[in-house]
Amino acid sequence: MSARAVVVGGGIGGLASGVALSRGGWDVTVLERAGSLEPVGAGIAVAPNAVRALGALGLGDRLRDLAALQGEVGLRRPDGRWLVRANASAASARFGDQTLVLHRAQLVGMLADALPDGALRLGVDAAVVDPGDAGRPSRVRVRDAVGQGRDVERDGVIGRGGDAPRQGDGPPDGEPSQDRLGVDDRSPDGAEEIQAALVVAADGIDSPTRRRWWPDAPGPVSGGSTAWRLVAEAPPGEPGGAVGSETWGRGIVVGIVPLADGRLYSYVSVADATGVPTTFVELRQRLADWHAPIPSLLASVDPAAVLCHELRHLPAPPASLVTGRVALVGDAAHAMLPNVGQGGCQALEDAVVLGVRAGGGTSVADVPASLWRWSDERRPRVEKIMTLSARTAAMSRAISPAVTTVRDLGARLTGPWSEALGAWALRGVLGWRPPT
């Protein structure tokens, strides 16, 4: 009998889980709600721990072909004064790998390419209607969402995997025997029901799976800021145009990250307490006197191509990331604020560890116990990183003149030791290595 694994959600965590499980011998189906593939206009920094995770999925060489090395980086004030400058390549000496930067759509396309043919279905709503247990499979109800589900032509773009799948009507009346694992049925309302020995819920921060089967788990809360993300051409002749930096003002953070193709990925977060701009034009006006290339970079972008969203996170992961035969991964389990750059990286770690702990000959009957061991391994780590991200976010969105003065002074005084201090603070995060 070929064990079946179903992944609900086609974002980074879902696709990576599909790749990891297929490499571990599972017959994998990844279900994504989007009916068509859309580019996501944002970049992503793949930290050393995530570089190793992708290497474990057999994608290390492809990653390096597509990505740019993160070179000189630093922290600046709005007037352009450097508070901290460092060379990110030093991370390679400390952690064995360097942070790589690429367009998010390239990472998703790379993961989709690594799935078996026919494993990815678009245009379907998927809901876990029975999590299963040691004696029976999980059941996932699947309906057409926006047109017929179909195999994906992998071209480096992504459907919006964070969209929430529709919740099911409830557990089925009957309990199928274990010898029916992997058999598809049709319910009276025409929905397809897939039985699986393992289900990965990668359905995002608003995960219907988490809400239904983890009713006591905390839901998402506001991070106190609104963010804009964009990718644009580097303004010609602008000083600092090709240097990665993050600029901290009073309640405002602007990041600039060079990509391999010469474009710049930029993000802006504005604390709610400062009054959030209602339009991108208003945001441009607020940052008009910030250092170059920020004003010209924002001026060069079509507002329609800019992503804007409230920053939200989970205050803590559920007490366990597993129920029955269902595992929560990525934002569904541990959505975190972006200030440490580990949201996607931790989703990749989730997937790699899951592929090891539930792969390699794990019997169908042993899946629930294997998932519990995976949860015991992953939960303490992601909880610490969630806390670190929230604390860093609180510092970056400070608006009090006294607090920001002390913050900036502390950054400037520690500048000569910033690389060593940063490496020490993040050693537990960036030093992670895949299990064997």
**Distance from C-alpha of 360 to C-alpha of 363, rounded to nearest angstrom:** 9
| Contacts for 126 with CB less than 8 Å, ≥ 6 apart | 6, 8, 31, 33, 140, 141, 142, 165, 203
- For residue 416, CA distances in Å to 57, 68, 398, 409, 412 come to 37, 26, 24, 13, 8
Mean per-residue pLDDT of the chain: 84
State how far the alpha carbon of 97 is from the alpha carbons of 46, 50, 336, 424, in Å: 10, 10, 23, 16
Pairing state between β 27-31 and 43-46 = unpaired
pLDDT band (50, 70, 90) for residue 57: very high
CA distances 208 to 128, 214, 309, 322, 358, Å, are: 9, 10, 20, 15, 24
In the chain, the percentage of residues whose pLDDT exceeds 90 is 61
Q: What distance in Å separates the CA atoms of residue 419 and residue 20, rounded to the nearest whole number?
A: 33
Question: Is the N-terminal amide bond of 434 cis, ω within 30° of 0?
Answer: no
Task: Note the Cα 218 to chain centre separation in Å.
Answer: 19
What is the rounded average pLDDT of the residues 240-248? 75
**pTM of the entire structure?**
0.87
CB 229 within 8 A of CB 45: no
Task: State the Cα–Cα distance between residues 105 and 158, nearest whole angstrom.
Answer: 6
* Residue from 375, 382, 271 nearest 336 by CA: 382
| More confident site: 421 or 226 | 226
Average pLDDT over residues 257-270: 92
pLDDT of residue 426: 74
How far apart CA 419 and CA 12 sit, in angstroms, is 29
| Whole-angstrom distance, CA of residue 61 vs CA of residue 21 | 20
Rounded Cα distance between 339 and 430, Å, is 14
Please indicate whether residue 334 or residue 236 has the higher confidence score (pLDDT): 334
Q: What is the pLDDT of residue 39?
A: 61
pLDDT at position 174 is 32
> Please, are residues 48 and 95 in contact by the beta-carbon 8 Å criterion?
yes
Question: Would the pLDDT of 177 be above 50?
Answer: no
C-alpha distances out from residue 77 to 84, 255, 340, 396, 408, Å: 10, 12, 19, 12, 8
Task: Tell me how many degrees the CA angle 49-21-99 measures, rounded to the nearest 5.
Answer: 15
Task: Give the separation between CA 381 and CA 338, rounded to whole angstroms.
Answer: 16
Half-sphere exposure of 312 (CA within 13 A, CB side): 15
Contact 53, 102 (CB under 8 A): no
Report the share of the chain in percent with pLDDT over 70: 78
Q: How far is CA 315 from CA 157, 192, 380, 388, in A?
A: 30, 35, 14, 12
Identity of the residue numbered 39 = P
pLDDT of 90 reads 65
Dihedral over Cα of 56, 99, 427, 350: its sign = negative
Domains of the chain: 4-39+108-220+314-392 (3.50.50.60), 45-106+221-311 (3.30.9.30)
* Displacement of CA 206 from its chain's centroid (Å): 13
Task: Kindly state the tokens that stand for 358.
Answer: 């539930």
Query: What average pLDDT score do residues 127-152 get?
Result: 81
Burial level of 184, CB count in 10 A (0-12/13-18/19+)? exposed
Residue type, 80: G
For 373-417, the pLDDT digits (tens) are: 999 999 999 999 999 999 989 887 766 565 556 556 555 555 544
Mean pLDDT confidence for 427-431: 88
pLDDT value at residue 114? 97
pLDDT in tens, 146-168: 544 333 333 333 333 322 222 23
List, as one string, the DSSP characters of 244-307: -EEEE-SSEEEEEEE-TTSEEEEEEEEEGGG---SSHHHHHHHTTTSPTTHHHHHHTS-GGG-E
Mean pLDDT for 323-336 is 99
Looking at per-residue pLDDT, the higher value among 242 and 283 belongs to 283
What residues contact residue 139 under an 8 Å CB cut-off, 6+ apart?
128, 129, 130, 132, 171, 172, 176, 193, 194, 195, 196
Q: pLDDT digits over 290-312, tens only?
A: 999 999 999 999 999 999 999 99
Region 180-204 average pLDDT? 78
Q: State the pLDDT at residue 336.
A: 98
Q: Check residues 145 and 407 and name the one with the higher pLDDT.
A: 145
Q: Mean per-residue pLDDT for 232-248?
A: 76
Range 94-106 average pLDDT: 85
